[in-house]
Amino acid sequence: MPGMTLHRVTLPEVELRYRVHGSGPDVLLLHGWISSGRMWQPLMAALGGHFRLWAPDLAGFGDSPLPADGPPRLSLADHARHIRAFCRALDVRPYAVVGHSLGGLLTLHLALEYPDLMERLVLISPVVSGRLWPVVLLRGGVGHWLLGIVRRLWPLPVMALGPSVFAFAPRHLFSEAARRKAEDAQKASRRAAVDGLQIVLETDYSARLPEIDKPTLVIVGTRDITVPPTEGELAAARIPGARLVKLPGVAHQVTDEAPDEVHRLLLEFLAPALLEMPHD
């Protein structure tokens, strides 16, 4: 979507690129693995009349470079620190954090480790337990060998697999959104991509979900073969009071395949922030 300017902010550990649009209560949008903040542009355009929406590219993804003198491996805690620093530097006070896929796992981490950062959570096709069929193959000795192959050959494995095949339902495979997904996958740095897989391998928040005491909306597609809807179902079952919405026939890229429904659900869920705003 043209016209949404890419900004940059220099933080203590990283330099992040980001998009911001709209006015009103802040909403922070976190993309998933080998993706970027570009995935949120239609949602930002739709909700910008009600909210100020922020969409950073995580370090090593999209247009955000990897830190030159950073740690040898990017962990979930590293990404969370970057996001917290991002909010502090730009005075972003999220009413809600919205995370997709790996960004959903990052949203859970933020809610658990920095609970004062936000008031509400939205998890879209979230990774929760790491029990995903493509990732399970990477566990054990063979898995470490395969990760080494991916690390050396990136982005060839992504180009060969074709991320759109797994991310979209068949009717969306040749859409503009699928082309964007493929472009973002090829832009992702090798290190950030492999480290992202390692994060999924090592993280299971199943047992900690009951600690989250914030209103939570979980949205999943019933045809998601990348992150099975059972992950979102688990989050909704264990986070007290969470609401689960299943979208029939939708795959992993929920925001692209069912944008009108997602926009409606978010506007409804975030409406209390608008009621709390002062009126002239």
- pLDDT tens-place string over residues 23-53: 999 999 999 999 999 999 999 999 999 999 9
CA quadruple 49, 51, 25, 95: dihedral, nearest 10 = 160
The predicted pLDDT at position 152 comes to: 57
> Residue 265 and residue 29: Cα distance in Å, rounded?
15
The CATH code belonging to domain 7-275 is: 3.40.50.1820
Question: Sorting pLDDT into bands at 50, 70 and 90, what band is 159?
Answer: very low
Amino acid identity of residue 73, one-letter, is R
Read off the pLDDT of each residue in 168-185 and give the average, rounded to a whole number. Answer: 75
pLDDT in tens, 238-275: 999 999 999 999 999 999 999 999 999 999 999 999 88
Q: What is the pLDDT of residues 178-196, one digit of tens each?
A: 788 888 988 888 889 888 9
- Dmax (CA) of the chain: 63
183 vs 234, more confident? 234
Q: Show the DSSP H helices in the chain as ranges.
A: 41-47, 76-90, 102-113, 133-136, 140-153, 156-161, 163-167, 176-187, 190-202, 229-238, 254-257, 259-275
Structure tokens at 168: 């979209």
Structure tokens at 81: 């620190």
- Comparison of pLDDT for 155 and 25, the residue scoring more: 25
Beta bridge partners of 7: 18
Can you give the residue ranges of every domain in the chain?
A: 7-275
pLDDT at 139: 52
Instruction: Note the pLDDT of residue 65.
Output: 95
Of all residues in the chain, the percent with pLDDT exceeding 90 is 66
At residue 239, the pLDDT reads 98
- What average pLDDT does the chain have? 87
pTM exceeds cut of 0.85:
yes
Confidence category of residue 141, pLDDT binned at 50, 70, 90: very low
Q: Is residue 101 within 8 Å of residue 36, measured between CB atoms?
A: no
pLDDT digits (tens, 9 = 90+) for 81-116: 999 999 999 999 999 999 999 999 999 999 999 999
Q: What is the distance between the alpha carbons of residues 42 and 251, in angstroms, rounded to a whole number?
A: 18
The answer to whether residue 142 scores a pLDDT higher than 50 is: no
pLDDT the model gives residue 155: 53
| 158 vs 71, residue with greater confidence | 71
